[in-house]
Amino acid sequence: MEWRDEGIILGTRKHGETSAILEVMTRAHGRHLGLVRGGRSRRQQPVLQAGNRVDLIWRARLDEHLGVFAVEPLELNAARLFDSATAVFGLQTLAAHLRLLPERDPHEALFETLGAVIGHLDHPAAGELIVRFELLLLDELGFGLDLSECAATGARDDLAYVSPRSGRAVSRTAGDPWRDKMLALPGFLQAGTRHRAEPDEVDAGFRLTSFFFARHVYEPRGLAEPEARGGLLGALRKSRRGAA
């Protein structure tokens, strides 16, 4: 068995004295693990860092085997990102999210979005992009939100809330009487909106995705929210204070 694909490194762990188990998100083969012989060498270690984009050749005798990766660098992002706490926690959060998916299950849209987010993890828009990634992941897991129109009236304007029961948008007029029971729909997630997300909108976006991850993913699987996500939110708040 052999295939070639492009991948983004999610993490590594030691294997024996000289090798490493590499975890990558690939374009056509999903989240995939493989052995890298000599992966702990001085030559390989700078390449096998989370966030780097690599060219991969995977070989195994049988498809169900772990297999062996041959790895060549395409885009070395790690050195740039390691100087930013937001980027480091962001990488860890994205990797933890992707581990919710079955191994080797292809999700090309997530791969493309992951690459775009990693390209901006040291940018002020990082929080907004990670919220969008989380919404896409919920959709890929089968729990997508419908934020296109009001669940009560079908209106597409002035959407202000999300129903915690249905995961659908609700207009301000229809939702105001039950605002205490609704989740806020931040402006940057409304259809057709092009303005840059404000900090309070990003916070509302994370509260929105947190609620549905807890309800549909973490609680049914007996999981806790990744610790890295709390670190990410703290790093985002700290970076705002520093910018202010």
pLDDT at 213 over 70: yes
Mean pLDDT of 164-182: 96
3-class secondary structure, 102: coil
Same domain for 33 and 89? no
Identify the band that residue 163 occupies on the pLDDT scale cut at 50, 70 and 90: very high
* CA dist., res. 214 & res. 212, Å (int): 5
Instruction: Return the closest-CA partner of residue 101 out of 203, 231, 232, 10.
Output: 10
Domain boundary among the residues 56, 76, 96 is at 76
Residue 19 belongs to domain with CATH number: 2.40.50.140
Least confident of 91-100, 101-110, 132-141, 193-202: 193-202
Same domain for 143 and 110? yes
**Which pLDDT score, from 0 to 100, does residue 244 have?**
58
Same domain for 200 and 106? yes
Same domain for 60 and 105? no
Which residue pairs, CB below 8 angstroms and at least 24 apart, start in 164-169?
Answer: 164/211, 164/215, 167/143, 167/212, 169/145
Percent of all residues in the chain with a pLDDT value above 70, rounded to a whole number: 98
Rg (CA), the chain: 20
- Domains in the chain: how many in total? 2
Mean pLDDT of 190-210: 89
Q: Note down the domain range covering 48.
A: 2-76
Domain boundary among the residues 27, 58, 76 is at 76
Same domain for 68 and 128? no
**Which pLDDT score, from 0 to 100, does residue 222 have?**
98
